[in-house]
Amino acid sequence: MTRHSTDTPQFYLTAPSPCPYLEGRQERKVFTHLVGPHAPALNDILSQGGFRRSQNIAYRPACENCRACVSVRIMVDRFDWTKSFRREMRRCSDIVGDVLPAAPSSEQYDLFRRYLDDRHTHGGMSDMTVLDYAMMVEDTHVDTMVIEYRKRGPDTFITGRGDGPLLGVALTDRLSDGLSMVYSFFDPDVEGISPGTFMILDHVERARTLGLPYVYLGYWVNGSPKMAYKARFRPQQHLGARGWRETGDDDE
């Protein structure tokens, strides 16, 4: 059985494979394992260095001749609450997010499958089974939570929880300097609101309440339409050769 050191992480490089974001390109990743008692501190350091977490793996792009993937984080204290964002919050004022331990449920998986079948039929996650989903949620050695979003119910003012069908789910890591949105999905048939936008805005508010300066959104990929939405949440910082810099401060 392979053993992984929890004191000195070992990094590995994947073989080239088709890029899921830019047609005709190949991607490679550098990755390490997040295991043991030092995993939370390592996840902090690596997240600040542009890595993302998937289960007990931290990875970042290491593509040859391509730097399209850029790590993005929202600057919480200066967040620009545009008229559009404020309207969305009003539309979603009856939705409540309930923070739960990182544990999967059949209701979550049913919603996850509906979301993938509607939005990402040919994506890399499209063939995930219920066991794959369970591993995605619970295989973590860091401070991870699941936030379930439902409509406000008659007892919400007492319990703080929503009621009724599940509308959205966010798998989120708490870092020393922010909240990292590992993965989120929502009911593709809901009308009148934008659940994906709302969940990001909700994370901005949660980070502000916790006194955390950033919300990590993962990678923005220049030229990928499916990643274009991330540019709306400003001000934001991008990670480049000179470290984290607010967009507009450099030539990225």
Domain spans of the chain, in order of start: 74-237
Q: Which residues pair with 59 in a beta bridge?
A: 31, 52
The label of the residue with tokens 């909240």 reads 179
Residue pair 171/137 in contact (Cβ under 8 Å)? The answer is yes
From the CB of residue 136, how many other CB atoms can be counted at a distance below 10 Å?
19
Q: Both tokens of residue 148?
A: 């379930």
Quote the pTM value.
0.92
144-193 per-position pLDDT tens digit = 999 999 999 888 888 878 899 999 999 999 999 999 999 999 999 999 99
Q: How far is CA 69 from CA 145, 146, 168, 170, in A?
A: 26, 26, 26, 22
CATH class of 74-237: alpha beta
Tens of pLDDT along the chain (252 residues) come to 444 444 688 999 999 999 988 989 999 999 999 999 999 999 999 999 999 999 999 999 999 889 999 999 999 999 999 999 999 999 999 999 999 999 999 999 999 999 999 887 666 677 899 999 999 999 999 999 999 999 998 888 888 788 999 999 999 999 999 999 999 999 999 999 999 999 999 999 999 999 999 999 999 998 888 889 999 999 999 999 899 999 864 444
